[in-house]
Amino acid sequence: MRVFTIAAIITLASPQFATAQDMLLSSFDAIERARTAACVPILARMDALNTELMPLGLRAERLRQIGEAMALEDRMIMDELDQSDETEKAIHDWFVADGRLAQAYVDTENQDMQRQRTIAREGAKGTVQIAATAIQTQAQELIDASGDVATAAGPCDGAILIRSVVIEACATQDSPVCAPAAAAVDPDGVYRFVDTAEDLWDVQELRPWTTPGPLSVAPTGILTGARSVAFARHGNIVISIEFAPALQRRNGMTPEEVGQFQEVLDSIGFEFDHPDLIYAPSLVVRATLPDKLAGEDLYVLHFGTADDADVVWSAPAGTGDVLEAPAVLQPHQIVRIQNGEALNLTAITTDEAGKNEAVFTLDVTTVNQATATRELLGYMAGQMVEDLKVLLPPGGGN
């Protein structure tokens, strides 16, 4: 992955009308009504798929519990094992045989008993793994047979829906969202509704910057940790901003890109001597803005006001996709973020004369920003180097 720096300062003219927080954007109503209408059948398809997948999920969880009991030699699970099930009967028999071998070893201290236990244990683990793999295969077959439902459900996942549009669509089709929409309230809170798109625009949720932890390797083998994330929701627009080290392998970058990273590290006084890797403090921005809301041309994430924006990241409007990209921070921007200065996402238009005008601005919280980013920068400057040498040893390749 290549990471490019956006260091421009763009001056945006003050908007000539109310900001997005105070107005209903021209196409917002149509976009959200279309989303709700599409989500009614999509949620029905997802519900049908989940109903098919649920028994497989329960079985997978059961096998996980059995595997955990085997690892801990917890024989209490034996009474719960279903003797009519081929896999569970095999595990029950293994527990019985293993108990006898364990007792024989205690009585004789014969190492052959221990070797037999090890061989039998691996065989039993293999039995559980075969059953788990079969479940995964069945689940994937069901997902594949469902067509594009998983992809189509993306805009509906956690979306707030317009109640009147749902009720109208439910007159001709069944969907799990119909009954909650028809009710005056939804006590379970599975689905969320508003009466109008204008009401939806007023829905705002801001979550504090998360407290970072050290780098670690996830069970999937992916490097994780060492990040702080802020989350903001404005209606169905979701923005997440992740502050983290943009770790890169030197051999996958051009000399110019390596030089950019090193220049940032030198500017902030951070030493990093891993021969295979280099990093720079960065933001990864993700925003669910596939459609233009008010004829905007560009989105910019920036410090400061729209009149004097210090731009960190920018992306074109109307791409049809979720916007996601990394941006390496400049030294002065690293100072701004650790000082708790606010980041905002602004939509802008550009007229024929090249003049930029702010259309609307979406806020991101500063709660816990200074504390979390300073803690993470301290980790980058110190212990992270040693952690990387353990997790990704020099000369270890990929």
Mean pLDDT of the chain: 86
Strand pairing of 204-207 and 9-10? Answer: unpaired
What are the φ and ψ backbone dihedral angles of 188, each rounded to 5 degrees?
A: -80, -20
Domain termination site, one of 130, 145, 160: 145
Q: What is the pLDDT of residues 152-174, one digit of tens each?
A: 888 898 899 999 999 999 999 99
Q: How many CB atoms lie within 10 A of CB 1?
A: 9
Which pLDDT score, from 0 to 100, does residue 109 have? Answer: 83
Domain termination site, one of 145, 174, 196: 145
For 56, the enclosing helix (H) or strand (E) is: helix 28-72
For 160, the enclosing helix (H) or strand (E) is: strand 160-162
What are the φ and ψ backbone dihedral angles of 207, each rounded to 5 degrees?
A: -115, 140
Residues 139 and 210 in one domain: no
Residues 6+ apart with CB under 8 A from 90: 124, 127
Residue 126 lies in a domain: yes
Residue 133 lies in a domain: yes
Residue 198 lies in a domain: no
Residue 313 lies in a domain: yes
DSSP class of residue 83 equals: T
> How many angstroms separate the first and last alpha carbons of the chain?
14
Which pLDDT score, from 0 to 100, does residue 62 have? Answer: 92
Which pLDDT score, from 0 to 100, does residue 188 have? Answer: 58
Residues 208 and 59 in one domain: no
Tokens 């014969």 belong to: 110
Which pLDDT score, from 0 to 100, does residue 364 have? Answer: 92
Strand pairing of 237-245 and 216-217? Answer: unpaired
Find the angle CA(42)-CA(44)-CA(239) to the nearest 5 degrees.
Answer: 45
Residues 214 and 294 in one domain: yes
Which pLDDT score, from 0 to 100, does residue 259 have? Answer: 92
Residues 368 and 244 in one domain: yes
Query: What is d(CA 46, CA 52) in angstroms, rounded to the nearest whole number?
Result: 10
Q: Is the pTM of this model over 0.75?
A: no
Give yes or no for a contact between 180 and 188, defined as CB atoms under 8 angstroms apart. yes
Residues 210 and 277 in one domain: yes
Residue 354 lies in a domain: yes
Residues 337 and 212 in one domain: yes
Strand pairing of 281-287 and 248-249? Answer: unpaired
CA-based nearest residue to 81, from 93, 71, 72: 93
Angstrom distances, CA of residue 221 to CA of 141, 157, 216, 391: 25, 27, 9, 10
Residue 57 lies in a domain: yes
Residue 335 lies in a domain: yes
Tokens, residue 320: 């049809």
Give SS3 for 284.
Answer: strand
DSSP, residue by residue, 86-119: HHHHHHHHHHHHHHHHHHHHHHH--HHHHHHHHH
Weakly modelled stretches of the chain, pLDDT under 50: 1-24
Residues 242 and 387 in one domain: yes
Residues 115 and 229 in one domain: no
Angstrom distances, CA of residue 282 to CA of 12, 75, 105, 232: 24, 50, 57, 19
Query: What is d(CA 312, CA 226) in angstroms, rounded to the nearest whole number?
Result: 20
Tokens, residue 75: 């024989």
Q: What is the pLDDT of residues 48-74, one digit of tens each?
A: 998 999 999 999 999 999 989 888 888
Residues 131 and 214 in one domain: no
CA-based nearest residue to 149, from 48, 60, 34, 31: 48
Residues 78 and 212 in one domain: no
Query: What is d(CA 244, CA 226) in angstroms, rounded to the nearest whole number?
Result: 6
CA-based nearest residue to 364, from 295, 297, 313: 313
The domain of 257 spans: 204-391
Residues 212 and 64 in one domain: no
DSSP class of residue 14 equals: P
Which pLDDT score, from 0 to 100, does residue 18 have? Answer: 43
Which pLDDT score, from 0 to 100, does residue 396 have? Answer: 64
Listed in order, strand segments (DSSP E) in 168-219 are: 192-194, 204-207, 216-217
Domain termination site, one of 145, 171, 193: 145
Residue 287 lies in a domain: yes
DSSP, residue by residue, 338-396: HTTPPEEEEEEEE-TT--EEEEEEEE---TTHHHHHHHHHHHHHTHHHHHHHHHS-TT-
Residues 132 and 244 in one domain: no
Number of domains in the chain: 2
Query: What is d(CA 281, CA 267) in angstroms, rounded to the nearest whole number?
Result: 12
Which pLDDT score, from 0 to 100, does residue 283 have? Answer: 95
